Each structure stands twice: as C-alpha cells, then as structure tokens.
Amino acid sequence: MFALNPSIILELCLLGITIGFIAGLLGIGGGMLMVPFIMYFLTQMGTGSEITLKMAIATAMSTIVFTSISSVRAHHKMQAVRWDIVKGLAPGIVLGSLVSSVGVFSIFKGSTLAYFFEGFVFFSATQLFINKKPKPSRQIPGNPGMFAAGSTIGLLSGLVGAGGGFISVPFMVWCNVSIRNAVATSAALGFPIALANTLGYIASGWTLDGRPLGSIGFIWTPGMILIATCSVLSAPIGVRVAHTLPVKQLSRIFAVMLYALSIYMFYQSVNQIW
C-alpha cells in the first residue's frame, strides 16, 4: 500500500487490533494512544518534524470514525447506549470539533493545554479509581449545559486527536450514569467527534507541503486505512469483555488508562513536543 515497508504494515495492523479492543472495552477512540506510534512511523518515512505531530493527531482521529461505528453497534445490541445523552451532546460536539480542527488546530502549540489536560485527566482517574460516588441528586444537565459540555468535549478532543472518552466518561459518571452506559454512550459520541474533526483536518491541511505519499490534508491515508480496518474487527471483542467485567473492575481499568494518558501528556509537554 503506497510502497509501505512490510514490517510497517504489520505493526500498523497490530496497533489497529490493540486500539480497537481498547475502544470497545472502554468507550474511548484511542486516538491519544495512537499518536506516539504514528509519529514514529511518519518519522521512519522521512516526514518533517514540523508536521509529524499534527499529522499523527489527524490520522489517529480519522481512524475513530470507523472504530466508533463498530464499537457502538456492539454496545447498541446490548441496549447500553444512552441515545438521549448522545442527542444532547452531539450538536455542541460538532461545533467544538469544527472550531478546533479548522481554526485552532493549525495555530495552537499545545504545551499549556497539555499541562491542563494532565491535571484534569489525573484528577478524573483518581475519582474513578477510588470509586468516589457523585451526589445522588446530580443528574445530566439541561440543553444549555449539554451543549456547553459537548462543545468542550469536541474542542479539546480535536486538539489532541482523541475520541473524547477521557472527558465524556468521567462527565457522565459524575452525573450518575453507570460506567457501562457511560462507556457505551462515549463510543457513540466518538463518531460525530471524529467525523467533524476529520473533515476539518482535511480542509486545514489541504495545501500542506512535505506530506507522505497518499496523504489527504493532515491525514496519512495509508496508515489510517490499515489501523481502521483492523480496529473495526477487534472492537466488538472489547465490547463483549466490557459487559462481562464487574462494574468496579471496569472503572479501575478505565482509571488506569487515564493515568497512562496523563503521564503521556506530561511527558510530551515537558519535552516541548506539543
């Protein structure tokens, strides 16, 4: 595929299988987990350092379009998706994603954002890990609150190439949505986040110089196709595992994943990659 080295093809497929399983298990797109690996592949192909990170973020996000469809279909069959929450958050998510990917993404450096995210994600992970219960009276907010929450999720997701699960799942759990429903609903939210951001990445990087062969905008298409194809196959397996694990164990698995993300973001910000 576009003269890719066979070893890179194999590694991209393994990455896709792993990310798909994690996406189904935890309701996250896995974008932030993919970024360092895609950066490595792009660097190996001689892509300039000035565009490597942005292309890695855009490519990771584009795969979530396909992974989220596979994941949410499996969750929907188990009647776990809260479509009322999806309906409330989706408009804000689309707006925030477009603002992020079309405008802010092309100019934002990200070091300050990385520090902010590191603290936020670490706090969310700790809340889930210790299984701190939200106030029983707390519920999902009304339409204005949902629009604001969706816009924030879409905006921040677009800046770091994530499907939004690292924000949306803790938000829903905080609003007394069960972890299984939160994971399933987050998978559904990944689609509008990924689609809106992907379109924005294509538009904002359309005239970009120095891209690998086969790229469209900021998206490295060959990598996206291989990762997405394999992740679609493995996502339903992660969903089945998620619905067999005890709720407390699922919460702690998600918390560990959030801790890993916070450490990754801290590392990136310290090394001034963002």
In terms of DSSP H, where are the helices of 161-246?
A: 165-174, 179-204, 221-242
pLDDT digits (tens, 9 = 90+) for 151-165: 988 887 776 666 677
Backbone angles phi and psi of 210, in degrees to 5: 80, 15
**Confidence band, pLDDT 50/70/90 cuts, at residue 117:** low
Which of 173, 172, 250, 195 lies closest to 29, judged by CA? 195
Residue 245: burial class (beta carbons within 10 Å; 0-12, 13-18, 19+):
middle
**CB of 254 within 8 A of CB of 94?**
no
**Mean of pLDDT over the chain:** 80
* pLDDT of 131 over the 90 cut: no
Distance CA 102, CA 218 (A): 11
Amino acid at residue number 250: L
Backbone angles phi and psi of 89, in degrees to 5: -90, -30
Per-residue pLDDT at 274: 47
Average pLDDT over residues 212-216: 85
* pLDDT of 110 over the 50 cut: no
**CB of 179 within 8 A of CB of 251?**
yes
Q: Left if phi > 0, otherwise alpha if psi is -120 to 50, otherwise beta: which for 110?
A: left
Strand partners of residue 219? 216
Domain range annotation of the chain: 7-270
pLDDT digits (tens, 9 = 90+) for 184-202: 898 888 888 888 888 888 8
